[in-house]
Amino acid sequence: MKQKYFILALFACALIFSTIVVLNTWTENKLSVDEKRFDLDQNDELSEAEKQLMFRVMRLEAARGNKFSAQEIREMQGGQGDRSRGRDGFGRRRGSREPSGPRLDPEQVAFKDGAATIPDRETFKKLSYQGTEVRIDTQLIGIEFVKFQIENTHTQNPQLYFMNTETHRSHGSFMGAAGLGRGQGQMRGVLSYRPLFTAPNGEPGVYTFEFNPNDAFPFEEIKLAHDLLVSKMPILKNRLGYCPLWGAIGIYNRERTRYDAAEFPVYFEDDLYANIGYLPLNQAASFGRLRVLEADERPTVRDIVICKTLPNEMPRVAGVITGVQQTPLSHVNLRAIQDKVPNAFIAEAWKSERIAPLIGKYVYYEVNADGFEIREATFKEVESHFSDLRPTETQKPERNLSLTEILPLDSIRFADSSGFGVKTANVATLRTFGFPEETVPNGFGVPFYFYDEFMKHNGFYEQVENLLSDPMFQSEQDTKVTELKKFRAEIEKGGMPAWMMDALSELQNAFPEGTSLRCRSSTNNEDLPGFSGAGLYDSYTHHPNEGHLSKSIKQVFASLWNFRAFEARDFYRIDHFSTAMGVLVHHNFADELANGVAVTDDVVYQTIGNYYLNTQVGEDLVTNPEEQSVPEEILMDWWDSSNYRVVKTSNRTTDSKRILTDAYLRELSRYLGMIHNKFGQLYAPTSQTADFAMEIEFKITNDGKLSIKQARPWVR
Please spell the DSSP secondary structure of 2-16, one letter per residue.
HHHHHHHHHHHHHHH
Q: Output the pTM of the full model.
A: 0.64
What is the pLDDT, as a whole number, of residue 373?
92
Q: Per residue in 223-253, pLDDT tens?
A: 999 999 999 999 999 899 999 988 888 899 9
Contacts of 343 (CB under 8 A, 6+ apart): 280, 281, 282, 284, 319, 320, 321, 326, 332, 333, 336, 337, 367
Residue 55: what pLDDT?
66
The whole-number pLDDT of residue 403 equals 97
What pLDDT sits at residue 553?
98
Pairing between β-strand 114-115 and β-strand 319-322 as defined by DSSP bridges = unpaired
Maximum distance among all alpha carbons in the chain? 95
Average pLDDT (490-517) is: 97
**607 has pLDDT over 90:** no
Write down the pLDDT at residue 60.
62
Instruction: Write the CA distances from 124 to 130, 148, 342, integer angstroms.
Output: 12, 12, 26
> Of the ranges 617-631, 637-651, 684-698, which is most confident?
637-651
DSSP for 53-71, please give it.
HHHHHHHHHHHHTSPPPHH
> Would the pLDDT of 87 be above 70?
no
Q: State how far the Cα of 348 lies from the Cα of 352, in Å rounded to an integer.
A: 7
- Where does the pLDDT of residue 349 fall: very low under 50, low under 70, confident under 90, or very high at 90 and above? confident
Range 335-352 average pLDDT: 85
For residue 613, what pLDDT band results from cuts at 50, 70 and 90?
very high
Asked which of 77-91, 249-263, 633-647 is least confident by mean pLDDT, the reply is 77-91
φ/ψ of 291, rounded to 5, equals -145, 150
Q: What is the average pLDDT score of the chain?
A: 84
390 pLDDT exceeds 90?
Answer: no
Which range, 5-19, 466-480, 547-561, is most confident?
547-561
Nearest to 455 by CA among 500, 407, 408: 500
Band of residue 658 on the pLDDT scale cut at 50, 70, 90? very high
Among 397, 400, 421, CA closest to 569: 397
Model confidence at 648, in pLDDT bands (50, 70, 90)? confident
Which pLDDT score is estimated for 260? 94
Across 94-103, 218-227, 327-336, the highest mean pLDDT is recorded for 218-227
In the prediction, which pLDDT does 182 show? 85
pLDDT at 605 over 70: yes
Average pLDDT over residues 1-29: 42
Going by C-alpha positions, the residue among 245, 307, 366, 279 that lies closest to residue 633 is 279
Q: What is the DSSP string of 455-518?
A: HHHTTHHHHHHHHHT-HHHHH-HHHHHHHHHHHHHHHHH----HHHHHHHHHHHHTSPTT--EE
Which residues are 288's β-sheet partners?
363
Where does the pLDDT of residue 544 fall: very low under 50, low under 70, confident under 90, or very high at 90 and above? very high
User: What does the pLDDT average to over 30-41?
Assistant: 76
Beta-bridged to residue 305, according to DSSP, are 291, 320
Specify the pLDDT at position 687.
47
pLDDT beyond 70 at 151: yes
Strand partners, 587: 517
More confident position, 716 or 407? 407
Tell me if 451 sits within 8 A of 582, measured CB to CB. yes
For the stretch 308-319, pLDDT in tens is 877 766 778 999
Predicted pLDDT at 485: 95
Q: What percent of the chain has pLDDT over 70?
A: 82
The pLDDT of residue 532 is 59
Residue 22 has pLDDT above 50, yes or no: no
Give the model's pLDDT for residue 545: 95
| Predicted pLDDT at 24 | 44
Average pLDDT (161-167) is 96
pLDDT, residue 392, reads 80
Integer-rounded Cα Rg, in Å, for the chain is 28
Cis peptide bond N-terminal to 685, omega within 30: yes
pLDDT confidence of residue 268: 83
Q: How confident is the model at residue 672 (pLDDT cuts 50, 70, 90)?
A: very high
Q: What is the pLDDT of residue 457?
A: 98
> For the chain, how far is it from start to end, CA to CA, in angstroms?
13
pLDDT class of 89 with cuts at 50, 70, 90? very low
**pLDDT above 80: residue 610:** yes
Predicted confidence (pLDDT) per residue in 186-237, tens digit: 999 999 998 777 776 666 678 999 998 778 899 999 999 999 999 999 999 9
514, pLDDT greater than 70? yes
SS3 assignment, position 542 = strand
The distance of Cα 195 from the centroid of its chain, to the nearest Å, equals 17
Residue 488 has pLDDT above 70, yes or no: yes
